[in-house]
């Protein structure tokens, strides 16, 4: 039904080998020959069969993003970043959601699902143990970590601890002393960024000799409702915190909501700062430490594609890119 490379070869009066080389832009093809072949291929509206090409070349022509779950702002931004970073390369982006550990897990491990169909994988926001148990390192293709660091594995992430320090220092700067925390899962957790942010939070409190009661720390499940409930609990404490650092903006929205319900004015009676740089932060006057999530995706794509190319070229170093975060001070911290 569809044309094959042979049809093009015939029409151009050359061999299929030459057509193959010409169309892929390989070096050793006479410029005129190439031009003719390209023209004819276009006239014929020829397009190559990916599966044939992949089978013959041994390349999968795809990469996978492996993530604990699909949904939410962070995921979507990373995904969009990957997509745009992949634009220059002719590869398909496959997606595999593992499910959260402890909660629903995907019936089949990432390894089984994607082996033989990818040239590389970027692992998003997963602890190293999970990456291992999903068999991602046994795939014999390059792996890039996103949002986490690990010795010997290329990665792109932010400085979570530093970001948390910035957030909490800002609260201290504004004169707040009794500083609460809304984390994601109950601490400690297997998720490194959360632990790092906790450490950053504690760093600042210790440095200034401020209270570090565990009662000031509440998990918020990384969603709006969880944040609301966490803030409710914090506001019920006596003495209650005068400021709160939330590990995500979405939880902070919930927290704002809880404050509104109680008539507590954000930034005056109780300050709150989030983390992420979510689109709505500005709208809701939420101070936050923004992270360049799309950029994380873009960089991950590039790191991975470099490595894939590099497998056959010279060995590459183990790149570990750390992207900068940025503090935005708004009304929720009295600015």
Residues in touch with DNA (CB under 7 A): 2-6, 13-18, 20-21, 23-24, 27-31, 33-34, 46, 48-49, 52-53, 55-58
**Is 138:146 a contact under the CB 8 Å cutoff?**
no
Q: How far is the CB of 227 from DNA (least distance, A)?
A: 48
Which are the contacts of 42, defined by CB distance < 8 A and separation ≥ 6? none
Query: With respect to a copy of itself, which residue has the nearer C-beta, 79 or 176?
Result: 79
Query: With respect to a copy of itself, which residue has the nearer C-beta, 236 or 283?
Result: 283
What are the structure tokens assigned to 281, written together?
């932060």
Query: With respect to DNA, which residue has the nearer C-beta, 139 or 289?
Result: 139
Tally of residues, the chain: 335
Query: With respect to DNA, which residue has the nearer C-beta, 51 or 314?
Result: 51
The binder of 20, among a copy of itself, DNA, none, by C-beta within 5 to 8 A per type, is DNA
Query: With respect to a copy of itself, which residue has the nearer C-beta, 4 or 33?
Result: 4
The binder of 62, among a copy of itself, DNA, none, by C-beta within 5 to 8 A per type, is a copy of itself
Q: How far is the CB of 3 from DNA (least distance, A)?
A: 7
Residues within the interface to a copy of itself (CB under 8 A): 1-2, 47-52, 54-55, 60, 62, 70-72, 75-77, 79-80, 83, 92-95, 97, 112, 115-117, 140, 223-225, 228, 253-254, 257, 279-280, 283-284
The binder of 76, among a copy of itself, DNA, none, by C-beta within 5 to 8 A per type, is a copy of itself
Residue 9: half-sphere exposure toward Cβ, Cα within 13 Å = 12
The binder of 129, among a copy of itself, DNA, none, by C-beta within 5 to 8 A per type, is none
The binder of 283, among DNA, a copy of itself, none, by C-beta within 5 to 8 A per type, is a copy of itself
Q: How far is the CB of 301 from DNA (least distance, A)?
A: 22
Sheet holding 217-219, edge to edge: 217-219, 179-183, 243-246, 271-276, 287-290, 326-328
Report whether the peptide linkage leading into residue 296 is cis, meaning its omega lies within 30 degrees of zero.
Answer: no
Query: With respect to a copy of itself, which residue has the nearer C-beta, 69 or 174?
Result: 69
Phi, psi of 103 (to 5 degrees): -90, -150
Q: What is the DSSP string of 30-53?
A: -HHHHHHHHHHHHHTT----HHHH
Report the distance separating Cα 244 and Cα 330, nearest Å. Answer: 14
Give the per-residue SS3 of 245-268.
Answer: EECCHHHHHHHHHHHHHHCCCECC
């Amino acid at each position: 039904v569809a044309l094959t490379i042979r049809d093009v070869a015939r029409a151009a009066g050359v061999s299929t080998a030459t057509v193959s080389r010409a169309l892929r832009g390989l070096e050793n093809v006479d410029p005129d020959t190439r031009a003719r072949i390209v023209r004819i291929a276009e006239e014929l509206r020829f397009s190559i069969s990916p599966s044939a090409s992949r089978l013959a070349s041994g390349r999968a022509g795809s990469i996978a993003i492996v993530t604990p779950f699909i949904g939410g702002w962070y995921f979507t931004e990373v995904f969009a970043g990957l997509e745009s970073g992949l634009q220059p390369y002719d590869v398909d982006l496959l997606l595999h959601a593992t499910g959260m550990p402890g909660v629903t897990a995907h019936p089949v491990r990432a390894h089984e699902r994607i082996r033989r169909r990818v040239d590389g994988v970027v692992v998003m926001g997963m602890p190293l143990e999970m990456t291992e148990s999903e068999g991602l390192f046994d795939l014999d293709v390059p792996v890039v970590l996103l949002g986490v660091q690990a010795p010997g594995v290329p990665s792109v992430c932010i400085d979570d601890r530093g970001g948390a320090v910035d957030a909490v220092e800002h609260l201290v700067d504004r004169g707040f002393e009794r500083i609460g925390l809304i984390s994601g899962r109950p601490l400690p957790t297997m998720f490194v960024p959360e632990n790092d942010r906790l450490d950053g939070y504690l760093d600042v409190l210790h440095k200034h000799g401020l209270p570090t009661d565990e009662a000031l720390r509440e998990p918020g499940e990384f969603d709006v409702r969880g944040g609301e409930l966490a803030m409710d609990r914090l506001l019920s404490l006596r003495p209650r915190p005068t400021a709160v650092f939330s590990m995500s903006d979405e939880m902070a929205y919930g927290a704002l909501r809880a404050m509104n319900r109680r008539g507590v004015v954000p930034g005056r009676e109780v300050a709150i700062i989030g983390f992420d740089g979510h689109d709505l932060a500005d709208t809701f006057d939420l101070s936050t430490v923004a992270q360049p999530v799309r950029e994380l995706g873009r960089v991950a794509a590039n790191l991975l594609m470099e490595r894939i190319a590099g497998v056959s070229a010279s060995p590459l170093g183990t790149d570990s890119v750390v992207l900068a975060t940025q503090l935005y001070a708004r009304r929720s911290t009295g600015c």
